[in-house]
Structure 1
């Protein structure tokens, strides 16, 4: 019996595209595939699914469990991701978005990623007023309890994960405005989660103020984006007027990192309500 037209003699390009579809289908909720369910979900026949999975496993992109015969991501994926990160791929991707926001606000804009109890700056673009410090921001670490930049990330962690990370930890006081009381810090993080962005003035660096927003993939924070200004500079507008532009830029970066079109409305699992599309 002849195969359906869509399954007969797939071209090399179609085969590559299908293999890429499989790799891109893995997510937090989809960590493995079986041959039958892959065929059913993608509308392919079982032999096609088997060949594709086996080929990806042979090259190390997937690993086949010998008992369950299900396929998980393999070491080749780690190698490619590490190579991309070491080559500055993430920073370069972020800089495309940061450049537009820096031009719009006239201020320095940065992108940070989690690094244990801190967030670490991996990309920064100065606005027309110039840098906020005498040294580059890239490489700077910001502790979880001090400043908008870190608060915009840690506020959006799973509440239990955040509590386990912060509970009982001694907090260093960087300026007279640094919050070192655990209960008050928890309330500040909750407020940041409710509003969707953070503001700080002199909590970590007494000479600057900042607004920051999370970069979210689904409901998971992968970092934060900040707009920073020195207190000594005079601006014609208030920094907080740029929150909508900041949030839009953070959403654009999240879409680039997800390799996706703008998100549809989704459920906020912590508050039991539907969120509006991010843009």
Structure 2
């Protein structure tokens, strides 16, 4: 029973903060390091936890996501997003998405297709993309803790997924700094030709960036003069969202 109790203590450590380093887990649980290594290896092998190969952080794995036991924050976040996304879609006429960070990638967990025109931007929930391309990924990357951001900027693979993809580290670092200064991210044809997006970061209870809220549309309907307006609307929606968490 002692081993079971320790395993439950370990999983419970992810309730408030879904990404933790080994040292944090050792301090939070009091489990001896040799035992903690074994617990983490077993839970990762069974899919209850995963370890980020770039940052070495542990986070809830696919089994916990399927069970809905990865922490109340994700369910609360999705519910809060569903409350603000319709108004945002109505104001812009474009598609609205919620992305959650998963290691060096981001996952679409909520999607609301736009109503404007016959050509619309469409991404299905469950779609996974790297952090270095697209407004939503760059918004998350730019507002990660300094040390974590530095590691990712140094190690992230930078494949070209669209004609506008950033594939040089110096260019990505400059883009991230620009996003941090202005508070929102923009992308144009980074994942695929013919699409643009504006995104703002979402912070969790510990003020760590875990997600982003996005407005996206087709290039044929891009109105560049409206980009700052979209950013303001997104910021207001995120403010409402975080107040309800």
Asked if TM exceeds 0.5, the reply is yes
Helix, strand or coil for the counterpart of 2:167? Answer: coil
CA distance in 1, matches of 2:224, 2:209: 32
CA distance in 1, matches of 2:224, 2:202: 28
Please list the CA deviations of residues 145-176 of structure 1 after superposition, one character each: whole Å capped at 9, or x if unmatched: 11111011110001211121231333111123
2:59 corresponding residue in structure 1: none
Query: Does the 8 Å contact 2:104/2:156 carry over to 1?
Result: no
1:157 corresponding residue in structure 2: 144
Cα 1:191–1:239 change in 2 (3 A) is closer
Query: Does the 8 Å contact 1:216/1:251 carry over to 2?
Result: no
Runs (4 or more) in structure 1 with deviation over 4 Å come to 78-81, 83-86, 234-237
Q: 1:208 aligns with which of 184, 190, 195?
A: 195
Helix, strand or coil for the counterpart of 2:191? Answer: coil
CA distance in 2, matches of 1:147, 1:179: 9
The unaligned stretches of length 5 or more in structure 1 are 1-25, 29-62, 66-77, 258-279
The TM-score normalised by the length of structure 2 is 0.65
Larger Rg: 1
Q: 2:239 aligns with which of 248, 251, 256?
A: 251
CA distance in 1, matches of 2:222, 2:183: 27
Larger RCO (CA under 8 A, 6+ residues apart) = 2
Query: Does the 8 Å contact 2:16/2:71 carry over to 1?
Result: no
1:46 corresponding residue in structure 2: none
CA distance in 2, matches of 1:64, 1:142: 33
1:103 corresponding residue in structure 2: 90
The number of residue pairs the alignment matches comes to 185
Query: Does the 8 Å contact 1:208/1:231 carry over to 2?
Result: yes
After TM superposition, give the deviation of residue 214 of structure 1 in Å. 0.5
The TM-score normalised by the length of structure 1 is 0.58
Helix, strand or coil for the counterpart of 2:159? Answer: coil
Query: Does the 8 Å contact 1:211/1:240 carry over to 2?
Result: no
Please list the CA deviations of residues 251-279 of structure 1 after superposition, one character each: whole Å capped at 9, or x if unmatched: 2112222xxxxxxxxxxxxxxxxxxxxxx
RMSD: 3.1
CA distance in 2, matches of 1:82, 1:161: 22
Helix, strand or coil for the counterpart of 1:167? Answer: helix
Q: Given the alignment of the two structures, is residue 232 of structure 1 paired with residue 220 of structure 2, yes or no?
A: yes
